[in-house]
Amino acid sequence: MKLTNNARVLLDRYLLGVRRALTGKKRDDIAAEIESSLMDRLEEHSTGDQEITEAQVKNVLTEMGSPRKLAASFGPQRSLIGPRLMPAYLLVLRIVVPVVVGALILSIIIRTLIGEADSTAFPALEYLATLWNGAFSAAAFVTLTFAIIERVNEEKEIEELAEFDKFDVDALPDLGEADKGESITETVLEIVFGVIGLAFFTYILNNNGLFPIRISPMKEVALIPIFTDSFLRFMPFMMAITGLEVSRNATFLAQGRQTSLTNWWNILTHGANMVLSVFLLRAFPLLTAEGFKSLPLPADWDLARIETGVNTGLKVIIILSLIGTGVEIIRRLVRIAKNSAP
Amino acid sequence: MNEKTLETTEKIKQEMRRGITVAVVMNFLKQAQYGYALLKSLNDSGTDIGQDTLYPLLRRLEEQELLESEWRVEDPRPRRYYRLNETGREVYAALLIELKEIEKLIRSMTNETDK
């Protein structure tokens, strides 16, 4: 079978387009097969010893469609995230996006209420944009990560996924297992401390941040400020989060077991606590010794050093609590992930 | 049947056909065939399959090590021939047994419908 010069040029141009549209290590192999297949089709259109004309080539190529389309139809079917990774991908997406959006909402609320937010003409639109950006970035990050895993581990077994897919009937959790690690006593104690905390915060707020102190030579109790103004600004949020924790624990006690509601409620309050801790760390110093200057204290007391020491101690406690809360959130999310696995 | 029901029926029919396409293609690959000839044989036998389904399927079967391919240069021009390998023939035999089971099931369903 022979082609006219123009027909050959047209075919070569088309094949160049096909080669450019192909990717991967089998690119040359697939291109050669496409060429062979096109020649077979052209042969079918040829009659006897006559040369194939440019018009005949054009007809066959039009039938085939664009080089890109033909290249795609010959290559292996690809998807960004294949069926193998899809269940794990959806699960991670369902966890990460709401957590990021929740943290952003809390951060926006706190920033607005403490007056840290930028004053713009359309704050609501800016908040929506922040939320959208956060959700989109989180989803994009998860998608990109899974797409990379898909490409890097192409045709390979992924050990972690095999673990994820394993199912042993005997290993199914007992109905009460989810409650382990969260005993009734622990929950009751949390409620008691939560209520004490609420009472303390209410007292401090009602007294404009003044705290009752009495040192030995004094005959009367003195009300002095021990919290800085920046700490007092956060007190309503601390009360709100403590209130959420107390009500969550009360719900847990009322239901008698851990449920999806109380679990997610717990993650939400822990997340809120983390966001608040970050804001508190940025607002240091939180405690002040200024009020003690008016009291009859021993002469060798260095109030400045005491103030620095106490604030540093508090900072360490907040950082440790931040880490602990992060670990707790991860632990709960992993538990949810395990329970969601087939 | 209204339009929506027809559409749903068509979708289910396509899914059913897709399920046996692999076995049909494997049946034709007991002997070595090159892509275009295989496509024509399939279409001539009444199997409605396009190159956009056939070639990815051939790649998949090759990746699954069920068939082997080789370029033959003795033809008027180089052509890539595909053929089931030993594992492919074993898998095809197993698929055939399964298809026969499905056939039995269909017969029992048809008898039930006839009653």
Look at A323 and B114; give whichever has higher pLDDT. Answer: A323
**Mean pLDDT of chain A, nearest integer:** 79
Looking at residue A342, its pLDDT comes to 45
Look at B34 and A258; give whichever has higher pLDDT. Answer: B34
Task: Kindly determine whether residue A40 and residue B36, on different chains, have CB atoms separated by under 8 Å.
Answer: yes
Full-model pTM: 0.49
Task: Kindly determine whether residue A33 and residue B35, on different chains, have CB atoms separated by under 8 Å.
Answer: yes
Region of B52 (left: φ > 0; alpha: ψ -120 to 50; beta: rest) is alpha
Q: Find chain B residues with C-beta within 8 A of A32's C-beta.
A: 71, 78, 80
Q: Which residue of A has its CA nearest to B76?
A: A1
* H-helix or E-strand spanning residue B84: strand B79-84
Per-domain boundaries in chain A = 5-74, 86-157, 184-340
- Alpha-carbon distances, residue A164 vs A84, A167, A180, A342, B107 (angstroms): 11, 8, 22, 8, 40
Task: Kindly determine whether residue B71 and residue A32, on different chains, have CB atoms separated by under 8 Å.
Answer: yes
Q: Once rounded to an integer, what is the mean pLDDT over residues B89-110?
A: 93
Residue B28 in this model has a pLDDT that exceeds 90 = yes
Q: Once rounded to an integer, what is the mean pLDDT over residues A334-339?
A: 68
Task: Kindly determine whether residue A73 and residue B76, on different chains, have CB atoms separated by under 8 Å.
Answer: no
The two tokens of residue A195 are 């209520």
Q: Which segment, A90-99, A288-297, B89-98, is predicted with the most confidence on average?
A: B89-98
Of A36, A39, A155, Cβ closest to residue B80:
A36
Beta sheet of B33-34, edge-to-edge order: B33-34, B79-84, B67-72
Looking at residue A179, its pLDDT comes to 46
Burial code (b: 16+ CB inside 10 Å, e: under 16) for A154-169 equals eeeebeeeeebeeeee
- ipTM for the predicted complex comes to 0.80
Q: How far does B53 lie from chain A, in Å, by closest CA? A: 7
Instruction: Choose among A45, A27, A23: nearest CA to A35.
Output: A27
Q: Band of the pLDDT at A85, cuts 50, 70, 90? A: confident
**Cα A280 to Cα A285: distance, rounded to the nearest angstrom:** 9
* H-helix or E-strand spanning residue A125: helix A123-152
Q: Are A336 and A281 in contact (CB under 8 A)?
A: no
Q: Once rounded to an integer, what is the mean pLDDT over residues A297-316?
A: 83
Looking at residue B9, its pLDDT comes to 92
Q: Find chain B residues with C-beta within 8 A of A74's C-beta.
A: 51, 55-56
Q: Once rounded to an integer, what is the mean pLDDT over residues B31-38?
A: 93
Looking at residue A178, its pLDDT comes to 47
